[in-house]
Structure 1
Amino acid sequence: MSSNSLTRASSTETGTAAEAGVAVPTRTPARLQFTTVAAARSIVPLLVVVVVLSWVTGSQNPAFLTSVNAQNVLAQVAVLGILAVGQTFLVVGGQIDLSVGSLVSLVGVVAARCFADGWSTPAVVVLALAIGAATGLVWGTAVALLDVPPFILTLGGLSVLGSLALVLSDNTPVPVRDGLSSWGFGTWGPLRTPVAMLLLVVVLGALLLHFTRFGRTTFALGSSRSTTFLAGVPVKRHLVLLYVGNSTLAAFAGLLMMARIASGDPRAGLGLELSVIAVVVLGGATLAGGRGTVVGTFAGVLVLGVVSASLTFLQVPGAFQSLVSGGILVLAVVATALAERRAGGSGTAGWAGALRRSLPRLKRT
């Protein structure tokens, strides 16, 4: 079957590709309007949460509502947001990568040691991105060619990469004096550098996922890998590209993390993989694949960022903050599973859709 015979992928309200395959024709104004509406529906509930939390916290501490604090919140979640954009592509394609947190730590340690040895900034950046791309190439090749389950593969990768970071750092943070300091503390016009980098990655990611042939293929792959393969799409190559892109973004996030904390900390990325999955699911994606938006993921990042900042401003103990973040992840995953069971693959997906569909039943009981 040739690619010309494919039908154009259609999405549900959160961007589902059609079971029949992926289309690759040029994007039409109708498709642009549909994608915009779908993204808006997935992020509105999240934006409501952000506004309400901001208002409640601001009423207790007016400093929370200042532009300075807004940039502080975005800078704090910049690494998480960059990781989440890459993970969105994987989840939409029916994949997952649990090793990104350890890769962030490893890249930070390697970069810090290179700076300590006198390497130039361009050389360190190239090496870090190469480490990320090579890691993604290994994961993608194992998944695409050897059919290794991505969950098991990257869970093992989490342990391997984390152990390498500990070995290379002698289990202690490697200090960095000047390397990439402008990334962590500089500005791009009115924006702090981490904020500008985050927004740039979000915009480019949204354009790539929602308005290109690559993005449409990713949606179709997540909806039905076998159907996409039978349609003549190079599925294995696309899987490898997804993992390479995700790990390269993770390496970039590792450099940004190192710049922000001025050291290569082997534990800097500890637990990030769970937060990444949380924000992707909060943004309307389903772990079964075929659904998700970059804008929705960014809204999920904002929710976790505002929740964390609000709890800090309200002087809530750190242990309780972790409890809240974990609770959000559990709620999002469970609600998304309920949405899948009730919608049967159609209708509004995600935790917000599940909540809306649950309300009538609750009223009847």
Structure 2
Amino acid sequence: MSMELTKKQTETPPERAPRPTARRQSPTTTFFRTAIPLVLAIVALTLYSNSRNSAFLTTTNFDNILSQIAVLGILAAGQTFLIIGGQLDLSVGSMVSFVAVVAAKLFGASWSTPEVVVICLGLGTGVGLVFGVIVAFLRVPPFILTLGGLSVFASLALVLSNNSPVSVASGLETLGFGQFLGLRAPAVTLIVVLIVMGLLLHFTRFGRNVYALGSSPQASFLAGLPTKRLTVELFALNGLLTGLAGLVMMARLASGDPNSGQGLELSTIAVTVLGGAALAGGRGTMIGTFLGAMVFGTVNASLTFLQVAGAYQSLVSGGILIFAVVATAAADLRSAQVRTRAGFAAALRSQVSRFVSRRPPAEAQPAPPGGSGP
């Protein structure tokens, strides 16, 4: 009996040890950890500014803030796609200036509104396509490429406008000064762009592929995703939104100012990172980007209502960018440490379980004296 028992125990395979698994934060948890502080910051700034000036917390001022951040928010929507996909574009500010000057020149030459819109959107999309092809097929770092584009388009805007704003007698007045549903046209344009881009990012296969590309380009390629084509599409989409932002800028100012987009490239990155996007790629939301833009708009409006000198606005913007990058890096470091500790604990439990399951069976006990013999 004991011999059969021993044989059964020997033949029975040990239980499979559990794989070491690391604890992962759900996207919902990550989003709320980013969104809640931004909402609290907006509320706190609003209440403080309203306590100093009761005209701050009004519908008119809210409309003004949305109109002021319209160009920034449209650019940030395109930058969100790029950063989630592991890319970057530093030329968006100078492209806005260039598109605005081109649009003003075309209106001055008596081109029709549809023709100007098509040309400017096509110009932005074409530049994005060129950047995307160079990055995808020649593997040029997007930081260096678009930094060069920043200088090129800033210079072209100055040359084309003779270093002075190009006034527009008539053209896109509705986009700049129209009213829809009680909001100004730039604010409505921003909301529509954010909704469309949010649906594209979060509810389509294209959006899921963008997240996969930013998380791991090599794994995406091995999984069969067209990584090069996806990179080109990301830059083309960003170029299209840049062209639209240039038209909105020209319509709001009623002129093509060659310096109107100066500094927007850094502000768009700050807004996107502040909204929860990771510069390493693979993370970000369109709602977070909108909240980041609202923080910028609320801060600038607060400084204006509190009669703070305009020179401090760049200081605040730079401080927000530094804070966003440091906070994101700290959160990533903490998540990595949690995953490392969880993985070590799981591996230790696996080794202990494997050791216990592989212990040799106990030896058979001798028969008691006086038992039946053979």
Q: TM-score, normalised by structure 2?
A: 0.82
Of residues 67, 87, 111, the one that matches 1:119 is: 111
Matched-pair contact (CA < 8 Å) for 1:14–1:293 = no
Q: Quick one: distance in 1 between partners of 2:337 and 2:221?
A: 20
- 2:356 — aligned with what? none
**Structure 2 counterpart of 1:278:** 270
Where in structure 1 are there 5+ consecutive unaligned residues?
Answer: 1-10, 16-33, 348-365
**AA of the residue aligned to 1:212:** T
* Equivalent runs, 1:202-351 vs 2, <5 Å: 202-344=194-336
Residue 197 of structure 2 corresponds to residue 201 of structure 1:
no
Give me the whole-angstrom Cα distance separating, in 1, the residues matched to 2:216 and 2:242. 27
| 1:73-152 alignment runs, 5 A limit | 73-152=65-144
Contact 1:104 1:251 in 2 (8 A): yes
CA distance in 1, matches of 2:189, 2:337: 35
Shift of 1:42: 2.4
Offset of 1:63 from its aligned partner? 0.3
For 1:309, give the aligned amino acid: A
**RMSD across aligned positions (CA):** 1.5
Q: Residue 70 of structure 1: which of 62, 70, 88 is its match?
A: 62
Greater gyration radius? 2
Structure 1 residue 155 and structure 2 residue 147: aligned? yes
Q: 1:189 aligns with which of 181, 184, 198?
A: 181
Assess, with a 3 A threshold, how the Cα gap between structure 1 residues 14 and 178 changes in structure 2: closer, same or farther.
Answer: farther
**Superposed displacement of residue 337, structure 1:** 1.6
Deviations 1:335-360 (Å, cap 9, x if unpaired)? 2122222212988xxxxxxxxxxxxx
- AA partner of residue 63 (structure 1): A
C-alpha offsets along residues 285-305 of structure 1, whole Å, 9 cap, x if unaligned? Answer: 110000000000000000000
Contact 1:183 1:193 in 2 (8 A): yes
1:212-265 CA-to-partner distances (Å, cap 9, x unmatched) read 100000000000001100111100000000000001101100000000011101
What is the TM-score with the length of structure 1 in the denominator? 0.84
Is 1:43 the counterpart of 2:61? The answer is no
What amino acid is the match of 1:222? Answer: G
Deviation at 1:41, TM superposition (A): 3.7
Check whether the contact 1:14–1:285 (CA below 8 A) recurs between aligned residues. Answer: no
**Contact kept? 1:219, 1:290, Cα under 8 Å:** yes
**How far has the Cα of 1:279 moved from its partner?**
0.5
Deviations 1:121-157 (A, max 9, x none): 0000000001001000011000000000000000000
Q: Which runs of 4+ in 1 moved over 3 A?
A: 11-15, 37-41
Q: Give unpaired runs (5+ residues) of structure 2.
A: 1-22, 340-374
